[in-house]
Structure 1
Amino acid sequence: MDADAIIIGAGACGLMCAVQAGYVGKKVILLEKGDKPGAKILISGGGRCNYTNLYATDEQFISANKHFCKSAFTQWTVDDTISFFETYGIQGKEKTLGQLFPEGKNAKDIVEVFTSICTDFEQQIICGANVEEIEQTEGAFTVQYIRSGKSRFIKAPKLVIATGGLPIPKMGATDFALRFARKHGLNIVETAPALVPLTITGKDEKWYAQLSGNSLFCRLSNDRISFEENILFTHWGLSGPAILQISSYWRRGEQINIDLLPGNNISDLIDAERQYNGKSLLSAVFNRFYSKKFTDAMAKFLPVEKPVASLTKPELELIHQTIHLFKVKPAGDKGYDKAEVMRGGIDTNELSSKTLECKRIPGLFFGGECIDVTGWLGGYNFQWAWANGFVIAQQL
């Protein structure tokens, strides 16, 4: 045997698994297709890396089995993540909605924590390794990979596949885990881009495009969930935190409801303006909350240049409905190129929730994004990856 385990994929899950394996005295070889470990970590949070979320629970995760992630989060908590990084000089600073960023440091420092610990434990990280074949014989896995044009073989009794999902192909994302799972008869929950911008086409396309660059705090909802965060208008549709969040719960053909003024009642604001100065235009009320560009664009739907005192009852009802129940029917999404994560993946019924070991193939473990567990925007998916890495390492 060349090691106690082979880990394929040096992302968040694979790196944590290698480190935690070192803590329990296990030797691993980490194979990474890219030219450096932690590629997706390095671009997260705009290069600052929101490495966990203070409010992470199983409630912020999407899966066909919503209970599956509970065991991993019991074994490795948010406090464990915070303590782990603090031990290596990373102090967390809370940003929006519980997101924790490394204070005075960035994503490179997060990756450096893992690579330096791997060096200390003599865990081998091999970059530029393209895995070609995996065979299991006599209680061991033999992995064939190509590096620098040469074919090489390594062997270990345990194998971890933590190759991530399909988003951001330019960062080296592949369907390796899904292909391997299908080849061995494992069930796959249908995959799709998640935490992804949504596109608008057709007759409304120009209306959205003219607002490109405008950001607005809104409440978005559908039949499943609601989020209150900013949306961002773009020349091809909608983006921003609220859109990315609800995209994970959106399906093609469905409508999204947008409250353009959460926490306020536009009817009450108009009534107050009428009492103060009935000659004021509706646009004057709007301009307190929206950019002039957005107010002007609303003229397509509403009488924004009409004095508030002159607004009829049907007009007042239309204003209320438009502001608090603005309806959007996206044409699609921006695909895996722009998605932050993948929804769906290897069916959790194929894995032990306590160990993440494949039920049909003893000694094989799947971890991270390739599993049908998808977190919200804001550090949740990192918490899942760290927890997976820890859980799997205890079994190696």
Structure 2
Amino acid sequence: MDADAIIIGAGACGLMCAVQAGYLGKKVVILEKGSKAGAKILISGGGRCNYTNLFASDEQFISGNKHFTKSAFTQWTVADTVSFFETYGIRGKEKTLGQLFPEEQNAKAIVDMFTGLCDDFGQEIRCDADVTDVIRGEDQYTVLYQRNGKEYRLTAPKIVIATGGLPIPKMGATDFALRFARKQGLNIVETAPALVPLTITGKDEDWYAQLSGNSVFVEISNERISFEENILFTHWGLSGPAVLQISSYWRAGESININLLPHEEIADLIEEERTYNGKTLLSTLLNRYFAKKFTDALGKFLPLGKTVASLTKSEMETIHSTIHLFKVKPAGDKGYDKAEVMRGGIDTAELSSKTLESKKLPGIYFGGECVDVTGWLGGYNFQWAWACGFVIAQGI
């Protein structure tokens, strides 16, 4: 045997698993396809790394089994994450909505912390190692991989597959976990880009494009869920936190509702203004709540040049529906190149929720993004990865 376990993937889950295994005196070898460990960690949060969320619970995750994450999050809590990072000098600072970033350091410091701990524990990280197959023996597994044009093999009784999902192929994203699981007869929940910008085409394309760069605080919703955050207009459609959030719950062909003034009622604002000064133009009133460029763009739908006193009942209905019930029907999304995570993955019914070990393949563990567990934007997916790494380390 070459190690107690072989970890495939040096991302958040794989690195945490290696460190936690080190605490337990277990020897692991990490095989990483890319040229460096933690590549996706390094680009997260604009290089700052939103490494957890203070409000993380099983409620902020999409999965075929909404209760699947409970066991992992009981074993490794947000408080455990905060304490773990603080132990190694990385103190968190809350930005918004519970998002925790390093107070003084950046994403590189987090990766350096993990790789340094791996060195301390004697855990080996082999980069540029492209795993081609995992072969099952009587009491061990053999991992075949290519490195620098040569073929290698490693053996261990336990294998951890933490290769992530399909987003950002240029960062080394791979479908190895899904291919291996399918080959072994495990069920895969249909995958799709998540936390991803949405595109607009057709007759409305130019209207969105002219607003490129404008950001508006909204309530965005569909039949499943709603979020209050900013949307960002782009030359190809919509992005920003609110859109990324709703994208995980959006399906092709569906419409999305946007309330452009979630904490106000436009009819009440107009009525108040009529009482104060009926000669105020509708455009003047809207400019108090929106950037002028956005108000001007609303002129496609609204009688901006009319005074509030002269608005008809029909016009008031149009204003209400435009401001509070703005409907968008995206043409699609920007795909895995721009997605932050993958929705779907290895069916949770195939895994033990307590250990993340495969029920059909004893000694094989799956963790992180390749599993059918997808968190909201804002540090939730990192919390899932850390919890997976801890839980798996207990069993390998």
TM-score, normalized by length of structure 2? 1.00
Partner of 1:3: 3
Partner of 1:36: 36
Runs of 4 or more consecutive aligned structure 1 residues displaced over 2 Å after TM superposition: none
Displacement of 1:258? 0.4
Post-superposition CA distance 1:126-148 (Å, at most 9, x none): 00001112111121011111111
Partner of 1:144: 144
Question: 1:279 and 2:293 equivalent?
Answer: no
Partner of 1:209: 209
Partner of 2:62: 62
Displacement of 1:79? 0.2
Partner of 2:383: 383
Structure 2 letter corresponding to 1:109:
A
Question: 1:185 and 2:185 equivalent?
Answer: yes
Q: Distance in 1 between matches of 2:127 and 2:190?
A: 30
Structure 2 letter corresponding to 1:207:
W
Q: Distance in 2 between matches of 1:77 and 1:23?
A: 18
Displacement of 1:337? 0.3
Displacement of 1:279? 1.0
SS of the residue 1:165 aligns to: coil
Structure 2 letter corresponding to 1:32:
E
Unaligned runs of 5+ in 1: none
Q: Distance in 2 between matches of 1:331 and 1:149?
A: 42
Question: 1:86 and 2:81 equivalent?
Answer: no
Displacement of 1:152? 1.0
Q: Distance in 2 between matches of 1:153 and 1:317?
A: 69
Displacement of 1:192? 0.3
Q: Distance in 2 between matches of 1:295 and 1:40?
A: 38
1:1-396 correspondence to structure 2 within 5 Å: 1-396=1-396
Post-superposition CA distance 1:303-339 (Å, at most 9, x none): 0111111100110111011100100010100000000
Q: Distance in 2 between matches of 1:342 and 1:198?
A: 15
Q: Distance in 1 between matches of 2:377 and 2:346?
A: 21
Q: Distance in 1 between matches of 2:298 and 2:197?
A: 22
Post-superposition CA distance 1:234-284 (Å, at most 9, x none): 000000000000000000111101000010011111111111111110000
Displacement of 1:94? 0.3
Identity across matched positions, percent? 78
Structure 1 letter corresponding to 2:90:
I
Displacement of 1:104? 0.8
Structure 2 letter corresponding to 1:168:
I
SS of the residue 2:97 aligns to: helix
Post-superposition CA distance 1:115-172 (Å, at most 9, x none): 0100000000000001112111121011111111111111100000000000000000
Q: Distance in 1 between matches of 2:133 and 2:239?
A: 39
Q: Distance in 1 between matches of 2:114 and 2:90?
A: 12
Q: Distance in 2 between matches of 1:297 and 1:305?
A: 13
SS of the residue 2:224 aligns to: coil
SS of the residue 1:344 aligns to: strand
Q: Distance in 1 between matches of 2:2 and 2:35?
A: 22
Number of residue pairs matched by the alignment: 396
Structure 2 letter corresponding to 1:284:
T
Post-superposition CA distance 1:155-193 (Å, at most 9, x none): 100000000000000000011100000001100000000
Structure 2 letter corresponding to 1:156:
A
Displacement of 1:113? 1.0
Structure 1 letter corresponding to 2:288:
R
Unaligned runs of 5+ in 2: none
Q: Distance in 2 between matches of 1:291 and 1:82?
A: 39
Q: Distance in 1 between matches of 2:259 and 2:181?
A: 42
Q: Distance in 1 between matches of 2:192 and 2:318?
A: 36
TM-score, normalized by length of structure 1? 1.00
Q: Distance in 2 between matches of 1:136 and 1:229?
A: 48
